[in-house]
Amino acid sequence: QLQLQESGPGLVKPSETLSLTCTVSGGSISNSNYYWAWIRQPPGKGLEWIGSIHYRGSTYSNPSLKSRVAISVDTSRNQFSLNLNLVTAADTAVYSCARLKGYGDQEGAFDIWGQGTLVTVSS
Amino acid sequence: QSALTQPASVSGSPGQSITISCTGTSSNVGSYNFVSWYQQHPGKAPKVMIYEGSKRPSGVSNRFSGSKSGNTASLTISGLQAEDEADYYCCLYTGGSTSVLFGGGTKVTV
């Protein structure tokens, strides 16, 4: 059964870059039918899509974050990563990776999620 | 402020039915059929309950149903149970992963 696991620092200083990696296990990231996404949730608030990537490298980002977001994929390691630069306290959130069905049945559904990791922006 | 508007809270008694609305515009909800709904219990990852507006994934109770009319999508929970108490989010996918919008979330109290 496919699983996702986020990893990275839990504390980032203001103005620095938040870097997270999502490791895909139990299946291949190189599946044409799926995108791989990052979603965040500030404490006590709702979900916010950050962006998505296809294993072939095409990326899409939330317009509100686009200038600060970079998403990459490493098919050899079955991983994809998020870099968010110039962070502020407003970027404090639980960051989750998820699988997004891009084509076919269940198109548009985030069907598998990681457990999420809390990243705090503070000096 | 989310592009998709949901009521902040909805409550109901066990056995009753409730409906959560997700209102967008003719440019988003009104133009695309890829609306999904997620249930999130405290401290847990979201779980997809409805996809493509009205379809249920395998394993999801048939007490959950989805629909869409114009610019508004809806999630109905019938035969409300204590375990249904959670936060619910609507989500719109505009195809090709070009854009994803989440609603602000609705807290359901049983």
* pLDDT score for B2: 67
Q: For B95, left (φ over 0), alpha (ψ -120 to 50), or beta?
A: left
Each residue of A21-56: pLDDT tens digit? 999 999 999 999 999 999 999 999 999 999 999 999
Rounded to a whole number, what is the distance in Å from the CA of B9 to chain A's nearest CA?
A: 13
Residue B97 banded pLDDT, cuts 50, 70, 90: low
Rounded to a whole number, what is the distance in Å from the CA of A15 to chain B's nearest CA?
A: 24
* pLDDT score for A8: 98
* pLDDT score for B98: 72
Sign (positive or negative) of CA dihedral A42, A26, B59, B99: positive
Rounded to a whole number, what is the distance in Å from the CA of A98 to chain B's nearest CA?
A: 10
Residue A104 banded pLDDT, cuts 50, 70, 90: confident
Flag if A109 and B36 touch (Cβ within 8 Å).
Answer: yes
Flag if B93 and A107 touch (Cβ within 8 Å).
Answer: yes
**Of A99, A112, A114, whose CA–CA distance to A34 is shortest?**
A99
**Is the CB of residue A113 less than 8 Å from the CB of residue A4?**
yes
Is the Cβ of B97 closer than 8 Å to some Cβ of chain A? yes
* pLDDT score for B57: 96
Each residue of B4-60: pLDDT tens digit? 999 999 999 999 999 999 999 999 999 999 999 999 999 999 999 999 999 999 999
Distance CA(A18)–CA(A33), nearest Å, equals 28
Is the Cβ of A100 closer than 8 Å to some Cβ of chain B? yes
**Is the CB of residue A96 less than 8 Å from the CB of residue A80?**
no
Q: Say yes or no to pLDDT of B3 above 90.
A: no
Is the Cβ of A79 closer than 8 Å to some Cβ of chain B? no
